[in-house]
Amino acid sequence: MRARLLEAGTLALLVEPGAPRAGDPTDAAADAAALAAVAERLRAVPGVVEVVPGAETLLVRVAAGPVPRAAVRAALEGAPAGTARARTAPAGTTRAGTTADLARAPRTVVVPVRYDGEDLAEVARILGTEPAEVVRRHTAATHRVAFTGFAPGFAYLAGARGLEVPRRATPRTRIPAGAVGLAGPYSGVYPRASPGGWQLVGTTDVPMWDLERDPPALLLPGDEVRFVDAATLPDPAGRSAADLARDAWSGVPREATVRPWRRAGSSGLELVASTAPAAVEDLGRPGLAHLGVTASGALDPPALRAANRAVGNGPSFACLELTGSATLRAVGRSTVAVAGAVTRAAVVLEEGDEITLDAPAHGQHSYVAVRGGIDVPQVLGSASTDLLSGLGPAPVRPGEIVPVRDVPDDVLGPLRRGAPPRGPRDGPHGPGAGPEDPDVVVVDVVLGPRDDWFDDESLARLLAQEWTVTPRLDRVGARLEGPHALVRREERAAAELPSEGVALGALQVPPDGQPVLLLADHPVTGGYPVVAVVAAADVPRAAQVPPGGRLRFRRVEQPSA
Q: What is the pLDDT of residue 437?
A: 62
**Fold: same for 108-244 and 440-555:** yes
Radius of gyration of the chain (CA): 24
- Concatenate the DSSP letters of all residues of 445-512 into one string: EEE-SSGGGB-HHHHHHHHHS-EEEEEEE-SSEEEEE-SS---B-GGGTT--PPPEE--TTEEE--TT
My answer on whether omega of the bond before 449 falls inside 30° of 0, hence cis, is yes
Residues of the chain with pLDDT under 50: 22-23, 25-26, 79-103, 236-259, 261, 263-264, 423-435
Residue ranges of domains in the chain: 4-103, 108-244, 268-411, 440-555
In the chain, the amino acid numbered 542 is: A
- Fold for 108-244, please state it: Cyclophilin (2.40.100)
Q: Which residues of 162-178 are buried (b: 16+ CB within 10 A; e: fewer)?
A: ebbbebbeeebeebebb
Nearest-10 Cα torsion for 408, 411, 414, 419: -80
Q: Are 147 and 221 in contact (CB under 8 A)?
A: yes
Q: Are 338 and 420 in contact (CB under 8 A)?
A: yes
pLDDT of residue 348: 94
Polymer length in residues for the chain: 561
- Please tell me the predicted confidence (pLDDT) of residue 410: 73
Q: Is 122 exposed, middle or buried (0-12, 13-18, 19+ CB in 10 A)?
A: middle
Write the DSSP assignment of 365-428 as a string of letters.
EEEEEETT-B----BTTB---BTTTTBSBPPB-TT-EEEB----GGGS-PPPPSPPP--TT--T
Q: State pLDDT tens for residues 166-187.
A: 888 777 878 999 999 999 889 9
- The CATH code belonging to domain 4-103 is 3.30.1360
Phi-psi region of 512 (alpha: psi -120 to 50; beta: other; left: phi over 0): alpha
Q: Most distant CA pair in the chain: distance in Å? A: 74
Task: Determine phi and psi for 307, rounding to 5 degrees.
Answer: -65, -40
pLDDT digits (tens, 9 = 90+) for 49-69: 999 989 899 999 999 888 999
Q: CA-CA distance, 266 to 289, in Å (whole number)?
A: 35
* Predicted pLDDT of residue 51: 93
CA–CA–CA angle 328, 331, 332 (5° rounding): 135
pLDDT of amino acid 492: 93
Residue 404: CB partners within 8 Å, gap ≥ 6? 266, 267, 268, 269, 332, 334, 370, 371, 372, 373, 374, 375
Tally of CB atoms within 10 A around 27: 16
| Structure confidence at residue 184 (pLDDT) | 86
DSSP string computed for 117-140: -TTHHHHHHHHTS-HHHHHHHHHH
Question: How big is the CA angle at 298 (ends 354 and 501), to the nearest 5 degrees?
Answer: 160
pLDDT number for residue 510: 87
CA angle 502, 504, 509 (to 5 degrees): 55
Span 440-555 CATH architecture: Beta Barrel (2.40)
344-349 and 334-340 strand pairing: antiparallel
Average pLDDT over the chain reads 85
